[in-house]
Amino acid sequence: MDKIEFFCEALKRIRIETENGADRITEEGVLPTTVNGIPIRKLFISNVAQRTTYKELAALFSKYGKVESCYLKTTYGKSNYAFVTFTNVMSAIRAREDGSKKEINLHNRDLKVMPADPWHQPDSIQIKRYNLTKNINKSRKKSSIEETNHNSVQNHINAPIDALNDDCLIHIFLYLPIKNRIAIERVCKRWRAVAQKSWYTVKKLDLSHHAWGISANDKKICTSDLREVLLRCGRFLNHIDISQCYPSLTRSIDLLAKNCTNIKKLNLGYSLSMPFSRHICDRDFKTLFEMNKGLRYLNLYQMSISGKCLNFLSSNAFEELVLNSCDGIQESYFANALANLTSLKSLLIKDCVCITSRILEPIGKYCTNLKEFELTRFLSVPMCEDALQITELVNLEILRLIQNGFINDDFLIALASKCKQLIYLDINGCYNVTDTGLQAVATLPKLETLIINNLEKVTAVGLDSMCNIRQLECRSCISINDTGLAILIHVSPNLEVLDLTGCKCVTNDIIDVAEYVTSRRSNNIFLKIYIGGTSVTRYNHTSPNLLILRVPSKKNIIILRSYVRYLEFLNSLIETKKRTTHM
């Protein structure tokens, strides 16, 4: 029983001393060494708070002397502890003395300071042997690596690619497809650094099949691939084109907003918004527009948006907007956006079913600075007053009104009287236009390009006022004859392109007139006449300023392409046979 009581008393003393964080103190003070005579420089610290960092511990104990190292172990749900090693014994003694007096506090806790175990002390024999063995192994490994590198350099010293400097490699890497530029980072450390540096000069990101380096039938570009590219060059890009359809590339608008902040030109296709709702797409576009206040050009193709996000475009910087087949746009949001975009210079609306004639009034009211406007296949038939709102855009230089039935002679007369700055006019497929409307258009003083394809009611009579015209396209205008065209060629000395493809009433007389007029031109301007699908049978002429071109039909083009593929197949067979014979 005496032995049992003795051991119980000893364990009780050890527990009390441990709980108090006390160190064994003799009458002379704190002992500088362990029982085995090993100097105590490493201390064990307990009762450490969860939020404590090793920097805070090192700063706290540095007041006792220079701290050689500090190790902190954080165990979630358990007690945390640390080891602090001083460069000398006296610093450790001072820290132990304050620890025994509970004078070391951090985060409202009294730290318990005790000497580390003898075998953990830096001056113990075990530690010295371990460090010696570690240094020997480290030196051996280093010498082995140096020898390997030396042999590798000797083996590859004659490789031409190693003789190039980093600037040359960057120039070469820029010609590689995107997929290969990411793959070459795995060649070696130097190529990895150079390849990553080459992304700094990338200003345009084009995710076409050719630029990415994949076949036309491959749709394997996904959001993770785009993220890898944007992490390398997103902050340097100012032009992004993702107009091609990639079914696996979804919800990438938010990715663009997080990685790209200097975009000035943006071209996006419908795969980026599938299969999310308009609300989500508007929210992602809002973030993207807020992060890119310098955005100037935006082209959206079949995007599922309501138009509310367009209100967050920069009113001072934004200049060009293209909406192609965006069927979900609401007119109220779109009208508010037009009122905000005071610097808008180009507006192109193509095949947007939900946009009706009511939007023409805000366009004529707010977009007075427009230089370019396009309205293609406008399904809604506007009233005469609504259609005339387009003529209020007096600063227009380029106007495309393609396949719109509401364009008639009255509209063209009003247009010619107000829009005197027009240089380019396209009324392709506007079947209600007659010679009366063309006579009004001919009075435009600056008009250089006129496209009147597929107009069955025009005969080209009355175009004798178009003295500055340079290009006239009138494909498949079955009523156009030689009389009006002959007058046009006589009065237009700057005419360069005359496309008569599909005009069956045009005969050899037009070639005679063109030969006579161009041979006497003093400005030496070359005239090209396309006569495919006409009644012209004469191809020879004597004028040095005349070129007659017969454009092949679609059937002949398909046959020609098939023949080209057949020749490419034969060339590949010949090359394969040559390789096999050399082997």
pLDDT in tens, 358-384: 888 889 888 889 999 999 887 776 667
What's residue 26's pLDDT?
46
* 125: confidence class by pLDDT, cuts 50, 70, 90: low
Spatial separation of the C-alpha atoms in residues 263 and 294, rounded to whole Å: 7
> Considering the chain, what percentage of its residues have pLDDT values greater than 90?
21
300 closest CA partner among 310, 291, 290: 310
Q: Which residues contact 486 (CB under 8 A, 6 or more apart)?
A: 509, 510, 513
* 451: confidence class by pLDDT, cuts 50, 70, 90: very high
* 258: confidence class by pLDDT, cuts 50, 70, 90: confident
pLDDT for residue 124 is more than 50: yes
Helix (H, G, I), strand (E, B) or coil at 301: strand
- Of residues 263 and 162, more confidence is placed in 263
- Of residues 277 and 284, more confidence is placed in 284
- Of residues 209 and 502, more confidence is placed in 502
Q: Within a 10 A sphere around the Cβ of 167, how many other Cβ atoms?
A: 10
* 30: confidence class by pLDDT, cuts 50, 70, 90: low
What is the rounded average pLDDT of the residues 540-555?
76
C-alpha of 292 from chain center: 12
pLDDT in tens, 309-327: 999 998 888 999 999 888 8
Q: Within a 10 A sphere around the Cβ of 537, how many other Cβ atoms?
A: 9
Helix (H, G, I), strand (E, B) or coil at 471: strand
What's residue 239's pLDDT?
92
pLDDT for residue 157 is more than 60: no
List Cα–Cα distances, 45 to 53, 62, 83, 100, 391, in angstroms: 13, 14, 6, 12, 84
What is the rounded average pLDDT of the residues 150-177?
73
Between helix 166-173 and helix 189-198 the angle, nearest 10°, is: 60
What's residue 152's pLDDT?
54
Tokens of 318: 């934004």
212, amino acid identity:
W
Helix (H, G, I), strand (E, B) or coil at 566: helix
What is the rounded average pLDDT of the residues 486-501?
91
* 397: confidence class by pLDDT, cuts 50, 70, 90: very high
What is the rounded average pLDDT of the residues 102-119?
86
- Of residues 437 and 357, more confidence is placed in 437
pLDDT in tens, 217-231: 666 777 788 888 888
Radius of gyration for the chain, computed over Cα atoms and rounded to the nearest angstrom:
41
Helix, strand counts (H, E) of the chain: 19, 20
What's residue 21's pLDDT?
39
What's residue 207's pLDDT?
82
Q: Among 84-98, 129-143, 429-443, 527-541, where is mean pLDDT lowest?
A: 129-143
**Residue 409 near residue 436 (C-beta atoms within 8 A):** yes
Sheet of 80-86, strands arranged across: 67-73, 80-86, 42-48, 112-115
What is the rounded average pLDDT of the residues 475-488?
88
* 559: confidence class by pLDDT, cuts 50, 70, 90: very low
pTM over 0.75: no
* 473: confidence class by pLDDT, cuts 50, 70, 90: very high
pLDDT in tens, 69-101: 898 888 776 688 899 999 888 888 888 888 888
- Of residues 553 and 328, more confidence is placed in 328
Instruction: Provide the terminal-to-terminal Cα distance of the chain, rounded to the nearest Å.
Output: 97
Spatial separation of the C-alpha atoms in residues 579 and 111, rounded to whole Å: 79
- Mean predicted lDDT score pLDDT of the chain: 81
